[in-house]
């Protein structure tokens, strides 16, 4: 990703010199400053473009962390390809290419945005409401992200060349400042996106801003390189003015149009990106459906009465006299309406995204405003885990609304740690209740494993756990004993005046039948269950597995088979694979460089791993990555840039280039361990009110880890120059190292999001990465 | 150069071998369960309790050892060693075998109302059976856990030959057996034999189908069937193709044959918003039912909720369902109900003569019956068609 620019700093410093033909601006340092401002713009445009594309793709394609990993990996591949390709172009003037690519980025980004909402329809003929699968996601991310990131990747070497053309010194003079200014733009863009853009503007408004900025950049460059091309400048200026004037109007039209495609056949009446996700409301006849990150959340007023009432009434009648109820997430749109029928004294509804209940007040809804206006209902905008840690209140029932551990954000409500928090907030005889996908007919192994994992996780905390099988299975857990006798539950319903709903003694007999219960428990034994925890989000993996059964059955089968291996076996297998890779490198590459290539590749893996794991762990502990993504990514990239910029300083202070390199390898291993320790501390402190401090700690770590990994590439380039074949050109040298770094990052993007973090957890993932670095350090010490 | 070429060859060989090993290992044993292997190796059917290899009905041998199945509208031509589209019928040495005979992956007791079949033993429960796979690929399938898997992918706990199914129902004191969950067409032979056995024992038999059986097998089966629920998923061929990979005409023909054979018939239409909820289409469908079947054929309009591959579609507005139900009634259909909207007035059944609520139904629960065993409305004595005992 942006690490690629860090890599460029080292290797393109050794690139060919290009004669500057236009001696008129050769010594005009003012043009140097102006070009730097263009570089700043492209840096800003790059990070913002990436973030809005990721955000849109997450909405279109089932927004979970797998989407991030795939999109980031795609961006990385094409960005490097762009940088590598353009550096080999000989027959065009750098200045022309630079202007063209700036304009191309301004063109490709809005196109990518436009099609991100409908690519599944155009490419794969996905029907309205049909969910696209993993293959569609993968191909779409390549097609959408590819051209944009390819073009953006091309900009850096062109920028560096442009800077260096102003003076006649070596190219390295251009790369350093270009990198620094681009990173400054990146950082600024990341912060702006987090604090302002994401909250107040939709994607097309942001995209329009990027277009305008790049047009300015193009105009500036035209002024420098082609001062006599007045007509062209006039065209640029005209386009800029038209877009500037019509921008708001035009972007809103495109926004509405693309939403129509995305929600084909429905009437979109509300759209907003909050700090936590995307909310869209559609209206059909008298009903409003709320979508959150592209998935239907609830329908007002006609919610799924069968499902909601079933869950609520079975849960509440399992308790003798529930007075104080806590609903965590997913409460509005039916659950509260049903809970109130049991006449509790209080219903506390905790919702992470405070905009959700606020928005319901602005629309002509009939059910939800009524729910929220009930005197016994108290709405609290907070993270559920934070609330449970902070509150001293105790409850008769803690209900987790219709959420599933299908993202890291929601998985954190289904972990052992969370269940412990919930248990502490229960009164005596108190119950915790949640529901997950189930079946009354047949449980496949993926659903059995999913259910078993949740059952085991609850059993790890609570003394009694009962599961009522259904289209959605209901999990009831308590540290006191409770009974699920149909007659007892019916009596309680009658006592609470609820005998007129669709429940009846016969219905309860059917739902709580002993035969069904035995069948279900028997099916669960076929599943592979493990305890779901914060740092080993197996629940998330199982949910992904379940989703995969629908949308990528073949891949799901392979993933499922991987579960039969223990952590140690899996880790061992991966390490054996790495050793095989080393053997391959040994056979193929010139011997003095083979270890270096392996080291650079594994550092590329660690670089993206740090990037992703920081985001994933932040999501797990705090749950609001949507907003903070820009800041964390920018911090990491800033660190990488800083590291690359500081590399010459450290290199000059060591006797041999490989000493610095070995030191950096060792530091990376230490950082992997430090990260784990930091996360353990964060886990204890998250939700205790130290949020700002914890976020700052994460950010500092992101800068630190980025700095170390960023410093390694130019160090590797330096070693390569001194130890490589004399006849090897700089371009080829750069390409080898580049390719290794790229491959490492790409592998990390796929493996970590899909497999390692969900299945092995944080500890084993870090152990694996540390093993890779230990192997490379050993080889370095063994010498060639 | 030579050295580089040798290295490349070694590398490619290593990568290729590794890929094959990994692939083979991950593929695992995708072979059939041992029982199936035994069956297909020609093991003879043995004593009760053993897995039986059953030759399929309704197929024709072709030259070169291929066969053509003629069970459903697809009429698959199946080369030796291959299976049909339904994945349940395999050609072995020029003979077609069913792979799911007795392989009940789901055996449960469910209320009759859940089928849904409203004019059939209201308030009773029945033994429901399903096996594996389907000859459609509906994107909104409710039972995809079974219907979109082949037999090898399911855990079959118990071999249940027809007699065992019947005795299971009798042991539970159940009056009826239903072939449901996945499409019964694809386990035709199992259904056929079980239905015959059940009829001998005085049990009623129904099945819930997508209506894709060919006429001949359907006519052969119907004498042993007491009721059929047919999913009329839409009334446009394009909808059938895009959403189910099925065919409308076959379904319409099936409906007509069932009507012709005077077997009790009810129709279910699952309404997906924006996809098959056009009022004019429903009007055409209603007219067709009246003209080709009977105005007294019960029709159920079911509300859609996100399911299987249709996770991002909003639920059907209740107003839409009500509008479509009203259109059907206006066109002349006598018994129109609404499903998946618990508590709705049209969960119940009303006398088409006096309008009295003869079956007070709330979701799957029957609260009150005002119809006698003869099927007469207790208020006006009007005869209501159906199977009441």
Tokens at A479, concatenated: 């540290």
Strand partners, A289: A282, A299
Q: C-alpha angle with apex A24: A18 to A28, nearest 5 degrees?
A: 90
> Cβ B273–A282 below 8 Å, yes or no?
no
Break chain A down into helix, strand, coil percent, rounded to 5.
Answer: 70, 10, 20
Do residue B145 and residue A439 have CB atoms under 8 angstroms apart? yes
CA distance A84 to A8: 9
In the prediction, which pLDDT does A687 show?
63
Tell me if B319 and A286 make a contact (CB, 8 A cut-off). yes
Query: Are the beta carbons of B314 and A282 separated by less than 8 Å?
Result: yes
Helix (H) or strand (E) holding A189: helix A172-192
Question: For residue B202, what are the β-bridge partners?
Answer: none
Contacts of B307 in chain A (CB under 8 A): none
Measured between beta carbons, the chain B residues lying within 8 angstroms of A282 are 314
Instruction: Flag whether pLDDT at A624 surpasses 80.
Output: no
Task: Report yes or no: A204 and A11 within 8 Å, Cβ to Cβ.
Answer: no
Question: How far B356 CA lies from chain A's nearest CA (Å)?
Answer: 20
By residue count, chain B amounts to: 389
β-pair partners for B235: none
Contacts of A334 in chain B (CB under 8 A): none
Predicted confidence (pLDDT) at residue A565 exceeds the cutoff of 80: no
Query: Which SS3 state, helix, strand or coil, does residue B118 take?
Result: coil
d(CA B115, CA B118): 8
Please check whether residue A31 is in contact with residue A162, taking contact to mean a CB–CB distance below 8 angstroms: no
H runs (alpha helix) in A691-756 = 691-723, 730-751
CA-nearest residue of chain A to B19? Answer: A577
- pLDDT, tens digit, for every residue of A381-428? 988 988 998 899 999 999 999 889 988 778 989 999 999 999 999 999
Chain B environment of A516 (Cβ under 8 Å): 108
Phi, psi of A636 (to 5 degrees): -65, -45
**Residue-level pLDDT at B11:** 62
Calculate how close chain A gets to B147, using CA atoms only, in Å: 10
Helix (H, G, I), strand (E, B) or coil at A597: helix
Chain B closest CA to A192's CA: distance in Å? 32
Phi first, then psi: what are they for B367, rounded to 5°?
-95, -35
Q: Is the pLDDT of residue A19 over 70?
A: no
Those residues with Cβ within 8 angstroms of residue A228's Cβ, 6 or more apart along the chain or in another chain? none
Supply the pLDDT for residue B347. 94
Q: How confident is the model at residue A34 (pLDDT cuts 50, 70, 90)?
A: confident
Q: B109 contacts in A (CB within 8 Å)?
A: 513, 515
Task: With CA atoms as reference, report the closest residue to A22 among A168, A158, A176.
Answer: A168
Comparing A200 with A554, which gets the higher pLDDT? A200
Query: Which residue is closest to B310 within chain A, CA to CA?
Result: A130
pLDDT level of residue A18 (50, 70, 90 thresholds):
very low
Return the higher-pLDDT residue of B289 and A541.
Answer: B289
Q: Which pLDDT tens digit goes with each residue over B220-243?
A: 999 999 999 999 999 999 999 999
Quote the pLDDT of residue A2: 35
When pLDDT is averaged across residues A115-125 and rounded to a whole number, the result is: 83
- Side-chain half-sphere exposure of A115, counting CA atoms within 13 A: 19
Q: Are A641 and A183 in contact (CB under 8 A)?
A: yes
Beta carbons of B314 and A266 less than 8 Å apart: yes
Task: Give the pLDDT confidence of A677-695 residue by residue, as tens digits.
Answer: 888 888 777 666 667 777 7
Mean pLDDT, all residues of chain A: 83
Query: Which of A41-55, A175-189, B130-144 has the largest mean confidence?
Result: B130-144
Please name the residue that has the structure tokens 């006599």.
A228
**What's B214's DSSP letter?**
-
Which of A442, A471, A548 to mutate to probe the B interface, most B CBs <10 Å?
A: A442
Q: Which of B125, B308, B315 sits opposite A550 (nearest CB)?
A: B308
Take residue A306 and report the two structure tokens written for it.
Answer: 């069968």
Interface test with A, best of B313, B338, B367 (most A CBs within 10 A): B313
pLDDT value of position A8: 42
The pTM score is 0.88
Of A130, A526, A562, the CB nearest to B155: A526
Greater confidence (B223 vs A183) lies with B223
What is the predicted pLDDT for the residue at B38? 45
The whole-angstrom separation of Cα A457 and Cα A540 is: 13
Min distance A440 CA to chain B CA atoms (Å)? 8
Q: Are B86 and B75 in contact (CB under 8 A)?
A: no
Kindly list the residues from chain B whose CB atom is less than 8 angstroms away from the CB atom of residue A490.
none
Q: Do A442 and B26 touch (CB under 8 A)?
A: no
Tell me: pLDDT of A24 over 60. no
Per-residue tokens: B295: 């105005």
With 0-12 CB in 10 A as exposed, 13-18 as middle and 19+ as buried, what is B50? middle
Residue bearing tokens 């996905």: A126
Cβ separation of A285 and B139 shorter than 8 Å? Answer: no
Identify which of A766, A779, A732 has the alpha carbon closest to the alpha carbon of residue A14. Answer: A732
Please enumerate in sequence order all residues whose Cβ is within 8 A of that of A127, keeping only pairs 6 or more positions apart, or say none: B139, B242, B243, B275, B310
Chain A residues closer than 8 Å to B139 by CB: 127, 130
Q: Which of B171, B76, B176 is nearest to B123 (CA)?
A: B176
**What residues contact residue B342 under an 8 Å CB cut-off, 6+ apart?**
A305, A306, A309, A502, B362, B363
> Per-residue DSSP letters for A482-502?
----HHHHHHHHHHTT-TTSS
Q: Give contacts of B321 with chain A, Cβ < 8 Å.
A: none
Dihedral sign of CA atoms A232, A233, A234, A235 in order: positive
Q: Judge contact between B6 and B13, C-beta under 8 A.
A: no
SS3 B276: coil
pLDDT of residue A346: 97
Among the listed residues A453, A432, A315, the one whose alpha carbon sits nearest the alpha carbon of residue A384: A432
d(CA B145, CA B133): 9
For residue A255, say if its preceding peptide bond is cis, omega within 30 degrees of 0.
no
Checking DSSP bridges between strand A472-478 and strand A426-437, what pairing results, if any? antiparallel
**Which region, left, alpha or beta, applies to residue B379 given φ > 0 means left and ψ of -120 to 50 means alpha?**
alpha
Query: What pLDDT digit, counting tens, does each position of A429-480 carry?
Result: 999 999 999 999 999 989 999 999 999 999 999 999 999 999 999 999 999 9
- CB-based burial, A684-712: b 16+ in 10 Å, e otherwise: ebbbeeebeebbeebbebbbbbbbbbbbb
| Cα–Cα dist A546/A548, whole Å | 5
Q: Measured on CA atoms in the order A158, A159, A165, A169, is the torsion positive or negative?
A: negative
Residues A762-781, buried b or exposed e (16+ Cβ, 10 A)? Answer: bebbbbbbbbbbebbbebbe
pLDDT at A772: 86
**Of A200 and B202, the one with more pLDDT:** B202
A645-656 pLDDT tens trace: 787 788 778 777
The H or E element containing residue A418 is helix A416-424
Cβ(A70)–Cβ(A753) under 8 Å? yes
Interhelix angle A691-723/A3-11, nearest 10 degrees? 30
Q: How far is CA A498 from the centre of its chain?
A: 44
Q: Which residue of A has its CA nearest to B3?
A: A588
Work out the minimum CA distance from A271 to partner chain B, whole angstroms. Answer: 16
H-type alpha helices, A26-93: 29-60, 65-87
Q: What is the mean pLDDT of residues A476-485?
A: 96
> B7-55: per-residue pLDDT in tens?
566 666 666 776 666 655 555 444 444 444 444 444 333 333 456 679 9
Chain A residue closest to B113 (CA)? A507
Burial B24-36 (b: 16+ CB within 10 A, else e): eeeeeeeebbebb
CA distances B307 to A437, A550, B71, Å, are 11, 10, 28
């Amino acid at each position: 990703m942006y690490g690629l620019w860090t890599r460029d700093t080292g290797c393109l410093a050794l690139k060919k010199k290009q004669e500057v033909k236009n001696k008129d601006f050769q010594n005009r340092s003012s043009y140097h400053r102006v070009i730097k401002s263009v570089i700043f713009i492209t840096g800003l445009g790059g990070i913002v473009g990436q973030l809005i594309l990721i955000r849109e793709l997450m909405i279109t394609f089932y927004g979970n962390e797998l989407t991030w990993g795939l999109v980031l990996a795609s961006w990385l591949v094409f960005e490097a390809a762009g940088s590598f390709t353009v550096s080999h172009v000989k027959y065009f003037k750098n200045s022309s290419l630079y202007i063209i690519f700036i304009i191309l980025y301004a063109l490709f980004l809005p196109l990518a945005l436009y099609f991100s909402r409908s690519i599944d329809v155009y490419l794969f003929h996905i029907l309205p409401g049909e969910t696209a699968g993993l293959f569609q996601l993968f191909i779409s991310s390549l097609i959408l992200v590819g051209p944009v990131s390819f073009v953006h990747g091309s900009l850096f070497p062109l920028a560096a060349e442009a800077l260096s053309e102003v003076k006649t010194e070596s190219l390295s003079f251009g790369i350093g400042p270009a990198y620094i200014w681009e990173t400054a733009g990146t950082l600024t863009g990341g912060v702006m996106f987090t604090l302002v853009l994401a909250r107040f503007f939709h994607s097309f408004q942001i995209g329009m801003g990027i277009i305008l900025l790049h047009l300015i950049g193009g105009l500036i460059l035209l002024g420098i390189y082609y001062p006599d091309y007045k007509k062209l400048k006039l065209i640029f200026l005209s386009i800029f003015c038209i877009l500037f004037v019509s921008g708001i109007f035009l972007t809103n039209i495109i926004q509405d149009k693309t939403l129509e495609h995305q929600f084909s056949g429905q009437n979109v009446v509300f759209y907003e990106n909050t700090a936590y996700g995307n909310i869209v409301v559609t209206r059909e006849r008298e009903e409003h459906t709320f979508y959150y990150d592209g998935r239907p959340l609830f329908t007002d007023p006609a919610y799924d009465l069968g499902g909601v009432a079933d869950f609520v009434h079975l849960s509440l009648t399992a308790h003798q006299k529930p007075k104080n109820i806590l609903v965590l997430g997913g409460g509005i749109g039916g659950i509260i309406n049903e809970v109130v029928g049991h006449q509790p004294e209080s219903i506390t509804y905790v919702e992470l995204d405070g905009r959700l209940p606020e928005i319901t007040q602005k629309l002509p809804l009939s059910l939800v405003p009524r729910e929220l206006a009930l005197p016994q209902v108290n709405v609290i905008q907070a993270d559920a885990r934070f609330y449970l840690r902070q509150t001293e209140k105790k409850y008769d029932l803690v209900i987790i609304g219709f959420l599933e551990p299908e993202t890291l954000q929601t998985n954190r409500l289904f972990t052992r740690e969370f269940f412990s928090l919930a248990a502490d907030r229960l009164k005596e005889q108190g119950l915790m209740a949640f529901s997950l996908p189930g079946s009354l007919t047949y449980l496949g192994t993926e659903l059995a494993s999913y259910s078993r994992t949740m059952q085991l996780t609850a059993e790890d905390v609570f003394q009694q756990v009962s599961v009522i099988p259904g289209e959605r299975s209901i999990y009831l857990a308590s540290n006191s004993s409770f009974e699920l006798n149909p007659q007892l539950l019916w009596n309680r319903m009658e006592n609470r005046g609820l005998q007129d709903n669709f429940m009846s003694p016969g219905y309860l007999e059917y739902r709580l039948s002993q035969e069904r219960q035995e069948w279900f428990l028997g099916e669960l034994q076929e599943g592979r269950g493990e305890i779901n925890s914060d740092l080993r989000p197996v629940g998330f993996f199982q949910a992904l597995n379940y989703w995969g059964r629908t949308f990528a059955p073949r891949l799901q089968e392979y993933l499922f088979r991987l579960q039969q291996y223990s952590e140690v076996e899996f880790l061992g297998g991966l390490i054996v694979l790495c050793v095989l890779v080393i053997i391959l490198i040994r056979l193929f590459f010139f011997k003095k460089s083979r270890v270096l290539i392996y080291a650079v590749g594994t550092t590329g893996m660690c670089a993206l791993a740090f990037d992703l794991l920081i985001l994933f762990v932040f999501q797990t502990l705090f749950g609001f990555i949507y907003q903070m993504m820009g800041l964390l990514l920018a911090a990491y990239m800033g660190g990488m840039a800083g590291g690359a910029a500081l590399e010459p300083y450290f290199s000059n202070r060591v006797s041999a280039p490989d000493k610095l390199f070995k030191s950096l390898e060792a530091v990376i291993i230490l950082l992997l361990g430090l990260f784990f320790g930091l996360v353990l501390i964060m886990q204890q402190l998250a939700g205790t009110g130290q949020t700002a401090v914890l976020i700052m700690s994460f950010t500092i770590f992101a800068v630190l880890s980025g700095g170390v990994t960023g410093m390694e590439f130019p160090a590797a380039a330096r070693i390569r120059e001194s130890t490589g074949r004399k006849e090897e050109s700089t371009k080829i040298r750069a390409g080898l190292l580049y390719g290794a770094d790229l491959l490492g990052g790409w592998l990390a993007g796929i493996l970590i999001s899909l497999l390692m973090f969900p299945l092995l957890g944080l500890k084993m993932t870090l152990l694996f990465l540390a093993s890779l670095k230990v192997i490379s350090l050993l080889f370095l010490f063994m010498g060639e | 150069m030579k050295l580089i070429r040798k290295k490349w060859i070694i590398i490619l060989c290593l990568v290729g071998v590794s890929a094959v090993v990994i692939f083979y290992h991950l593929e695992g044993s995708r072979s059939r369960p041992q029982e199936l292997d035994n069956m297909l190796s020609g093991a003879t059917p043995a004593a009760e309790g053993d897995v039986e290899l059953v030759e399929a009905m309704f197929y024709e041998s072709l030259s070169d050892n291929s066969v053509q199945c003629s069970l459903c509208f697809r009429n698959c031509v199946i080369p030796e060693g291959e299976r049909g589209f339904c994945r349940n019928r395999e050609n072995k040495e020029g003979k077609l075998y069913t792979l799911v005979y007795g392989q009940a992956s789901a055996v449960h007791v469910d209320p009759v109302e859940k089928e849904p079949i409203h004019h059939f033993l209201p308030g009773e429960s029945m033994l429901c059976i399903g096996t594996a796979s389907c000859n459609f690929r509906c994107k909104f399938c409710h039972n995809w856990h079974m219907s979109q898997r082949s037999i090898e992918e399911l855990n079959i706990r118990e071999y249940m030959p027809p007699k065992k199914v019947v005795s299971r129902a009798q042991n539970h004191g159940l009056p009826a057996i239903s072939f449901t969950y996945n499409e019964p067409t694809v386990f035709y032979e199992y259904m056929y034999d079980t239905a015959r056995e059940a009829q001998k024992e005085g049990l009623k038999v129904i099945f819930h189908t997508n209506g894709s059986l060919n006429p001949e097998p359907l006519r052969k089966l119907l004498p042993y069937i007491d009721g059929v629920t047919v999913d009329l998923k839409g009334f446009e061929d394009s909808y059938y193709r895009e959403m189910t990979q099925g065919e409308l005409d076959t379904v319409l023909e099936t409906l007509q044959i069932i009507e012709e054979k005077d077997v009790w018939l009810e129709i279910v239409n699952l309404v997906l918003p924006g996809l098959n909820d056009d009022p004019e289409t429903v009007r055409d469908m209603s007219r067709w039912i009246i003209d080709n079947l009977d105005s007294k054929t019960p029709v159920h309009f079911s509300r859609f909720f996100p399911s299987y591959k249709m996770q991002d579609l909003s639920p059907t507005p209740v107003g839409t369902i009500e509008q479509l139900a009203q259109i059907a009634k206006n066109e002349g259909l006598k018994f129109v109900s609404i499903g998946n909207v618990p508590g709705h007035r049209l969960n119940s059944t009303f006398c088409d003569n006096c309008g009295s609520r003869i079956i007070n139904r709330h979701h799957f629960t029957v609260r009150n019956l005002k119809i006698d065993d003869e099927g007469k409305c207790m208020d006006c004595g009007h005869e209501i068609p159906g199977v009441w005992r």
